[in-house]
Amino acid sequence: MGEFVRLEVADGVGTIRLDRPKMNALNVQVQEEIRAAATEAAERDDVKAVVIYGGERVFAAGADIKEMADMSYTDMVKRSGALQSSFTAVARIPKPVVAAVTGYALGGGCELALCADVRIAADNATLGQPEILLGVIPGAGGTQRLTRLVGPSRAKDLIFTGRFVKADEALAIGLVDRVVPAESVYDEALAWAKQFAGAASYALRAAKEAVDRGSEVDLETGLEIERQQFAALFATEDRTIGMQSFVESGPGKARFVGR
């Protein structure tokens, strides 16, 4: 367990909890602790889905600018790959991942939320990529994941201007998937994650892999990724259980074992 990031597991759901007062600034230590928590969540069989949460007040207000301000070009050449890969570790968790976004999710905080499969935001949440106002650009996936999520013109508007986006606009442009009262954000995210506690784990893994990898390639290659993942699931015990249950009892009654 890290000093500022911990993985809490209960009832099949792992919560990656950021806790670096006051604003969950994402310094190098926090980045590496996020990587460690994501790796643990990916490997643990008792974690079926993951919530990323920064607490009731703030998700993450961005990078630790005081730490970054003194870095040279060569410092950042050395660090930038590790920065990106620490966030990619979250994106590559082979399980459903939901971000519970409260308060500010700016810069690196927005980029961390973009690594989730689904984003549930508080009605008072504020998101954005304001790096341009510091004379740089997003460096932890913002130019790529944001573009894939909301489209190039909207991504350019947000990145070029560095403007902040309130929850209602974030919902309208597809930056978040649901807006709920601030006091309900974590509970809503947890409820979404809990629905997968008894799901067919390898089928979920295959679905996520097919969608994520398929979106990075042409249609023909994406279809081949899908075909391979689909066929491979016929080697799993859950596929046998699911189809037998359907034949005998109808849909939605299978008790999967995660194998």
Question: Would you name the residues annotated as active-site residues?
Answer: 63, 108, 111, 131
Half-sphere exposure of 4 toward its Cβ, with a 13 Å CA cutoff? Answer: 18
Nearest CA among 64, 21, 17 for reference residue 38? 17
In angstroms, rounded to a whole number, what is the distance separating the alpha carbons of residues 172 and 165? 10
Nearest CA among 62, 135, 58 for reference residue 100? 58
User: Which residues have C-beta within 8 Å of that of residue 236, sequence separation ≥ 6?
Assistant: 200, 202, 203, 259
Helix (H/G/I), strand (E/B), else coil: 213: helix
Angle between helices 237-249 and 201-214 (to 10 degrees): 110
| Residue 156 amino acid letter | K
